[in-house]
Structure 1
């Protein structure tokens, strides 16, 4: 005789946007998506507690499992309560508890940590909860302010990952005033610091178990975001620890690796591309740029035995390294992430026999590296330009005419997507080598000066005389159009925000005093000084 199965239609599983069918039998319960292969089951022996409460999508059945996990089913109607209560009591011998939520809308209350969740309550009623396995980072952004960042839980094959669509909460900040006495000590500690440490411990983003780390690189200089960090590498992730920040970065989120010599012949840059980007407040960092002294050496021993190196890492690592620091770091990242490390292209050398060209992107000075499959501008803002997405490249101020006196030229990448990237202040001596590299890579190029000169000739060749005031006016307009400000108009590059850094980032710089301070604000002050003084009113 088959057991009786009760079914509820149009039910959501957790944050899933797809509707499904929830079936409850004496042996357990199961949810199946209407479309696709979504399937979730729970045995009756794993059920510990059931709760009924109001949720965003009608009513919710919350089930706490014996291993501490919580499963949520949304979409129930009010009239389903009595039926569901009887089914749960008959099949599993559990009571369906009711829970009243706070709907006051207040933004102050109390917090508690329970069953792997951060609970926020108002007047003894829960208002919302945050699953701590969703917390990816926390930091003290002010004396009494704690920030937490939210994202998907780590690990491959997580069924929840495929449901992450649309808008998502990524950051929250808590103001925690006052102080608390430390346990066993007479000294007091700020309540914000206590709350911060609790989140780190409960969310498992604090220190890992002793002995789990593979290697630690201390006090490593990072140009973007600027500061010095400790890089603590583990088998599946790394921790980036600064003075006020502590990031956990899974190796699966590292998409690109670059090892590039700096044109000063003294340093080497190691660039890490991330997806999703690292976040500091409102600023996103899709690339991390570390700088190493070229001749600096390190002596490290990996916390790995020979069997692990041979089996797990296919012998790509060694137990002990005594060589240059940047070589050790790049080797470890390559082995642990499984990503290829891109190096400079042999098809390009600058006029000074370097792998990069000095230039400026807006107000930021840096270097652009012509690589085999892309261009990369670093350090701020790091800009990645794949060859396959370039429609054409436009050179400006490289020809004759009024611009011939200039020692530099400009470069614009016209992307197929419609977004342009402009670089200025490039030494004129670099033009020949750069143009040759573009021809080798079969990237279409054009010169802005040739087009401007053509229009100039067509419009002023009607008469050699300047007596006609109308023609003189027309000639002046044409000369202004073909001047040095070819790229000074509203370039589409102004709309590029994903990889740019705003002034907000300075709040999070750990070594603000070390910054070069180049923000371009001095030009505004100079322009104000040139204005005529206002006459005083009598």
Structure 2
């Protein structure tokens, strides 16, 4: 007679007890089983089993099985939780594992199993229920614990923290991972040993805590024994006390640095394939180092770090500026970057056309040939904007979108100079869409446009020189208005609209005679100063020019980062629609037009 399948000698006993029912003798001796247990906030309960070789959990409705070897169990805690009692396991390599749904009488069985099989005492922890919002934060091996009167009020696993930053002198903001499939921007990778069912934020509904702020007053004295301290220890034999380097540090800053280190914010598994240093970003504003990894890239700035998955890149644009000196690399992200209440659905980099770089990718020839053949080269020696574009395209597999060949502006450029409210930029006509950069970066697909209206807005003189276009979307989805377009760009735009079969109407022809008559009337009055004043008021680029005087897009000077102390915020609500950008207009350097009246100097300056 053949032995039962569970007893075949080539099978691992631990694997057998997870997949098949056990005979009574095995159940009494080598395993403990618990029903209706939830793993890591999973929506579906499952069956949890403890055995001498480790523990396992399998969902009741079927799915991936989670297992943990006994050698990976570092500590265990028992406490009240949402669905009864929770068994929290602090593993050596896989972070924190939460098993919720135990009954109170299950403690003895679980404690005995952990003590005999794993050599771990199951610690019984009582949570603080006073409701105080002040206490002491302690950094454990795998989680941040907030204690009130030496009892934990709540714990935050480091794996759930996506980013942190100094929100003020004594305030630290902690951002949590969004409930995506483990690929949300800024979210750390799932730890080794986890499965798809280890639903990090799996039970999250529509409303979810995404940020928490800690107020940490005062300073701390940080004693650091360096070389001087070592010398002092050697002199202690002669009766002299050892010297210590004492440094007074802001308590909030120390908390921030410790959390960055513990949660490994921005760290990515594996070696970098390429690194680009000090790349100017117009959105989010600042200079960032770019580290390219296998499945993600990282932006490292003076204040903030961002980690972005390649699969979050939905659009990739290469847009040349009208100054023939710079080009803009624009990445459309979904989900967008998030910094507090600000969201960045687009990254806009500005690079010089004449700046060349020589770089060698940090990957083996076998990997290059096996995975990136015909996508990447081992070495690049080209202009930096071409190198970054090729590396991004090779690693992410995204198609690079460039301006349409069906459109050339009056001055022979790909972009049309215009503005959205007070923010000046360039509108690019693409084959299937329109793209406005740099702020607020606005993307409009041609297939979603119902009609384009060309009209004049403003006084007689300014309206005769410029016009506006309004893109009305289908289904009442709103509209986008681009203002202060040079009159010379009317014909090229109309030809592009006709080539792409876009329905448009020209409302400027109806009032052309009235505008000419008004202009002649003003000339007869001889009010040149009035005309100049009207021209200045009617142009949005002069309105925003004073705010942009400190920012020269063509210069190599450092740019203050978003929310930096050297940066002033305008609080403009208009830029929050598309970009959620809070800083003052940081548009590109304006080109000088021959017919533009000079701006009068302000008195007292």
Report the TM range for the smaller structure's normalisation: 0.7 to 0.9
Partner of 1:63: 89
Q: Does 1:180 align with 2:201?
A: no
Q: Secondary structure at the match of 1:102?
A: coil
For residues 95-127 of structure 1, give each alpha carbon's deviation from its aligned partner in whole angstroms, at most 9, with x where no partner exists. 543211112222222222223111111111111
For residues 384-413 of structure 1, give each alpha carbon's deviation from its aligned partner in whole angstroms, at most 9, with x where no partner exists. 112333333333349xx9998463133223
Partner of 1:166: 206
In the superposition, relative to structure 1, how do residues 129 and 323 fare at CA in structure 2: closer, same or farther (>3 Å)?
same
How much has 1:434 moved relative to structure 2?
2.2
How well do the aligned residues superpose, as a CA RMSD in angstroms?
Answer: 3.5
Residue pairs, 1:357-372, within 5 angstroms: 357-372=416-431
CA distance in 2 between counterparts of 1:155 and 1:416 reads 40
Q: Does 1:202 align with 2:251?
A: no
CA distance in 1 between counterparts of 2:448 and 2:36 reads 43
| Contact persistence 2:147–2:154 (CA under 8 A) | yes
Partner of 2:17: none
| Contact persistence 1:68–1:116 (CA under 8 A) | no
Partner of 2:578: 499
| Contact persistence 2:32–2:113 (CA under 8 A) | no
In the superposition, relative to structure 1, how do residues 502 and 288 fare at CA in structure 2: closer, same or farther (>3 Å)?
closer
CA distance in 1 between counterparts of 2:470 and 2:36 reads 56
Q: Does 1:237 align with 2:296?
A: yes
In the superposition, relative to structure 1, how do residues 95 and 228 fare at CA in structure 2: closer, same or farther (>3 Å)?
closer
For residues 228-281 of structure 1, give each alpha carbon's deviation from its aligned partner in whole angstroms, at most 9, with x where no partner exists. 222232333322222222222233332221111012222100111222222223
Q: Secondary structure at the match of 1:388?
A: helix
Q: Does 1:139 align with 2:218?
A: no
Structure 2: state its 5+ residue gaps: 1-22, 226-244, 512-537, 539-572, 591-605
Which of 249, 253, 257 aligns to 1:189? It is: 249
In the superposition, relative to structure 1, how do residues 158 and 354 fare at CA in structure 2: closer, same or farther (>3 Å)?
farther
Residue pairs, 1:206-355, within 5 angstroms: 212-355=271-414
223-232 or 184-193, which deviates more: 184-193
In the superposition, relative to structure 1, how do residues 7 and 444 fare at CA in structure 2: closer, same or farther (>3 Å)?
farther
| Contact persistence 2:441–2:578 (CA under 8 A) | yes
Q: Secondary structure at the match of 2:167?
A: strand
Q: Secondary structure at the match of 2:134?
A: coil
How much has 1:365 moved relative to structure 2?
1.1
| Contact persistence 2:162–2:176 (CA under 8 A) | yes
CA distance in 1 between counterparts of 2:253 and 2:295 reads 28
Q: Secondary structure at the match of 1:298?
A: strand
For residues 317-373 of structure 1, give each alpha carbon's deviation from its aligned partner in whole angstroms, at most 9, with x where no partner exists. 233322211011111111122211111111222222221211111221111111122
For residues 197-220 of structure 1, give each alpha carbon's deviation from its aligned partner in whole angstroms, at most 9, with x where no partner exists. 2222211226679x9333332222
CA distance in 2 between counterparts of 1:26 and 1:216 reads 47
CA distance in 2 between counterparts of 1:32 and 1:311 reads 36
CA distance in 1 between counterparts of 2:366 and 2:462 reads 65
CA distance in 1 between counterparts of 2:366 and 2:406 reads 41
Partner of 1:130: 156
CA distance in 2 between counterparts of 1:7 and 1:295 reads 68
For residues 141-171 of structure 1, give each alpha carbon's deviation from its aligned partner in whole angstroms, at most 9, with x where no partner exists. 3333322322154448754368355233222
| Contact persistence 2:453–2:471 (CA under 8 A) | yes
In the superposition, relative to structure 1, how do residues 62 and 319 fare at CA in structure 2: closer, same or farther (>3 Å)?
same
In the superposition, relative to structure 1, how do residues 202 and 417 fare at CA in structure 2: closer, same or farther (>3 Å)?
farther
Q: Does 1:424 align with 2:483?
A: yes
In the superposition, relative to structure 1, how do residues 33 and 431 fare at CA in structure 2: closer, same or farther (>3 Å)?
farther
| Contact persistence 2:575–2:581 (CA under 8 A) | no
Q: Does 1:85 align with 2:108?
A: yes
Q: Secondary structure at the match of 1:85?
A: helix
How much has 1:305 moved relative to structure 2?
3.7
Give the total of aligned pairs.
464
Structure 1: state its 5+ residue gaps: 454-483, 485-493, 517-538
CA distance in 2 between counterparts of 1:113 and 1:34 reads 35
Partner of 1:21: 46
In the superposition, relative to structure 1, how do residues 91 and 24 fare at CA in structure 2: closer, same or farther (>3 Å)?
farther
In the superposition, relative to structure 1, how do residues 214 and 7 fare at CA in structure 2: closer, same or farther (>3 Å)?
closer
In the superposition, relative to structure 1, how do residues 45 and 319 fare at CA in structure 2: closer, same or farther (>3 Å)?
closer
Q: Secondary structure at the match of 1:186?
A: strand
How much has 1:447 moved relative to structure 2?
4.7
| Contact persistence 2:47–2:58 (CA under 8 A) | yes
| Contact persistence 1:419–1:496 (CA under 8 A) | no
In the superposition, relative to structure 1, how do residues 299 and 285 fare at CA in structure 2: closer, same or farther (>3 Å)?
same
| Contact persistence 1:154–1:250 (CA under 8 A) | no
